Amino acid sequence: MNSFQLLNGLTFAALLFVVASGFTLVFGLLRIVNLSHGALYLLGGYIGYSTATMTGSFGLGMLAAMLGVAAVGLVLDQGLLRFVRGQELRQVLLSLGVALVLNDVALVIWGGDSFTVPTPELLFGAVPVLDTFYPKYRLFVLGMGVLVFVLLWLLLNHTRLGALIRAGVDDPEMVEASGVNIRRVFVLTFLLGCALAGLGGVMGGAFLALYPSADAEILVFSLAVVVIGGRGSLVGAAIGAVMVGLLNTMGQVWFPELAYFVIFGPMAALLAFRPLGLLGRAV
């Protein structure tokens, strides 16, 4: 594997981290496996694409995608998931239904063509990195991945909200008993998770393209990341994302026809020995 491919793996890992960190936060705190996370990613990508095309601003596209997807998330949480609170399996299956609906709605609005979010001129072209030339935009994605990791880490470890989220992951009843409105923390976390999916959609939409089945692909990669990293663990998601990103690149280079296998083989092996993932903890 040369350094160009290595960078490809790392930038893909950065994207995966952004998407999967939202997934793992929601999974860890709310115990919701949100199978519509991929659909939210795609929706975010489409919203970002439309906004960026209309306004010519990539930044506005990212903002619109995060807000738009968070708004959808609010409806999803308050309008649907509230009816099945506390029932893991019903939540999962409900979110699966939501994924189907969202996907079809997106198909109606944006059609079946594949789109690429226009990148800002600033990020055109390539710069020399190591012993190769690498596209600036992909380096930007890499930077965004690191930035999101740092921000989330600061949020979780150095703010009151973060402390509440961490406490909620361990024992929601106890947090509630100490006078905190844990429901509000839950909603905020859910919205944050959705916004991260939307952000990922714009970031990924600019170099992976957006098309009707892109949601399932990114969802499965996120699942792999979360399963490897362990539920609710930010560092786990980062490790998982790097592993999956690199494995995926290696797979595409060495066994293009069986690329999926290269990711899921190790994942399955890991599950066999640590069913809760690398950094997952039993509850």
Partner 1 sequence: MNRGVLWLLALLAAAVMPLLLSSYHVDLATRILIFAVLAMSIDVLAGFVGRTSLCHGAIFGVATYVVIWVMAKAGLPAVPAFLSGVVAATLVAALFGLLAVRTSGVYFLLLTVALGMVVWGICLRWTGVTGGENGLRGQDMRPALLLARENFYWLVLAVAALAAWAMQRFVNSPFGLSLRGIRDSESRMRALGYNVPLHLFIGFAVSGFFAGVAGALYAFFNEYVSPSSVAMGQSVAGLLMAIVGGIGTLFGSFIGAAAIILLENTVSWYTDRWQAVLGLVFILTMIFAPEGILGTVRRLAAPKGRAR
Interface residues toward partner 1, by CB under 8 A: 31, 33, 35, 80, 83-84, 88-90, 92-94, 96-105, 107-108, 216, 220, 223-224, 226-227, 256-261, 264, 267-268, 271-272, 275-276
> CB 201 → partner 1: shortest distance, Å?
19
| Contact by Cβ (8 Å): 55, 61 | yes
| Contact by Cβ (8 Å): 187, 26 | no
- C-beta of 61 vs 73, nearer to partner 1: 73
> CB 89 → partner 1: shortest distance, Å?
6
> CB 11 → partner 1: shortest distance, Å?
21
- C-beta of 60 vs 216, nearer to partner 1: 216
Task: Give every CB contact of residue 224 below 8 A, 6+ residues apart in sequence.
Answer: 240, 244, 263, 264, 267
- C-beta of 62 vs 215, nearer to partner 1: 215
Query: Around Cβ 187, how many Cβ atoms within 10 Å?
Result: 16
Amino acid at 70: A
Strands 132-135 and 126-129: antiparallel
> CB 217 → partner 1: shortest distance, Å?
8
Query: Tokens at residue 176, please?
Result: 């509630």
- Phi, psi of 230, rounded to the nearest 5 degrees: 100, 140
H/E stretch holding 262 reads helix 259-273
Specify the 3-state DSSP secondary structure of 179: coil
Cα gap 4→130, rounded to integer Å = 9
- C-beta of 77 vs 141, nearer to partner 1: 77
- C-beta of 103 vs 119, nearer to partner 1: 103
> CB 269 → partner 1: shortest distance, Å?
8
Q: CA nearest 21: which of 183, 159, 198?
A: 198
- C-beta of 74 vs 96, nearer to partner 1: 96
> CB 276 → partner 1: shortest distance, Å?
8
> CB 223 → partner 1: shortest distance, Å?
5
- C-beta of 47 vs 215, nearer to partner 1: 215
For every residue of 3-56, DSSP letters joined together read HHHHHHHHHHHHHHHHHHHHHHHHHHHH----TTHHHHHHHHHHHHHHHHHHH-
